[in-house]
Amino acid sequence: MRSLLLATAALALAGCADLKPVKAYTGADRPDAELAILQSEFVRDLHKSSDIEIDVLDGVNYGQRKYAAKILPGKHRAGLRHLLQYGSEKQQRFCSFEFDALAGCTFVPHPPESNATFAAARAPDWRESFFMPVSVRCTNLAYEARVATECANRKLW
């Protein structure tokens, strides 16, 4: 936990990450209680790091280093850029999934990070479909959901 906090603080101080949520809906600003949040994460430990960024949301490309987006409730399609590093070996993957956002809730997707998946994804045409866990935290409720997801070593959108 401490390493996660230090890594997040270092990214914020270095100006490398945009930690402020993107307004990913049109129209006037709305109160947070009427919105949902899609949130990605950066995790680092002794052996690996995993940097998950929001790349595309409902067909809009948000570029690099976007870690949170405020969205309206309802169905959304998200595209994530997942940067993995095991020791000195680095890899970039792209994952696409659809989910139902609920007002007042934060959705945190968890793409796979296993060594086996890392090794398989070296193939130039690697592509995998699976059910990805998504942590959902609401005002009075927290649960794990699973969403159909497709990941590849090339953009799917």
Is the pLDDT confidence value at 2 over 60?
A: no
User: Averaged over 142-155, what is the pLDDT?
Assistant: 94
User: Pick from 117, 150, 115: which is nearest to 131 by CA?
Assistant: 150
Q: Note the pLDDT of residue 116.
A: 67
Q: Which residue has the tokens 């000195």?
A: 88
The whole-number average pLDDT for the span 7-36 is 74
> Side chain identity at 154, as an amino acid letter?
R
Predicted local distance difference test score (pLDDT) of residue 8: 46
This prediction has a pTM of: 0.83
- Closest by CA position to 84, among listed 55, 41, 20: 41
The domain locations on the chain are 2-152
pLDDT at 26 over 90: yes
3-state SS assignment for residue 95: strand
**pLDDT tens-digit series, residues 40-69:** 999 888 888 999 999 999 999 987 789 999
Q: What φ, ψ does residue 88 adopt, rounded to 5°? A: -95, -5
Q: How far apart are CA 73 and CA 66, in angstroms?
A: 20
Report the alpha-carbon distance of residue 32 to residue 42 in Å, rounded.
23
Cβ atoms of 75 and 31 within 8 Å: the answer is no
Residue 18 has pLDDT above 70, yes or no: no
Residues forming a β-bridge with 138: 141
Q: What type of residue sits at position 120?
A: A
Contacts of residue 22, defined as CB under 8 A and 6 or more positions apart, other chains included, come to 54, 57, 62, 66, 68, 69, 70
Give 52: exposed, middle or buried? Use CB within 10 Å, 0-12, 13-18, 19+: buried
pLDDT in tens, 82-140: 999 888 888 899 999 999 999 999 999 999 876 666 677 778 888 999 999 999 999 99
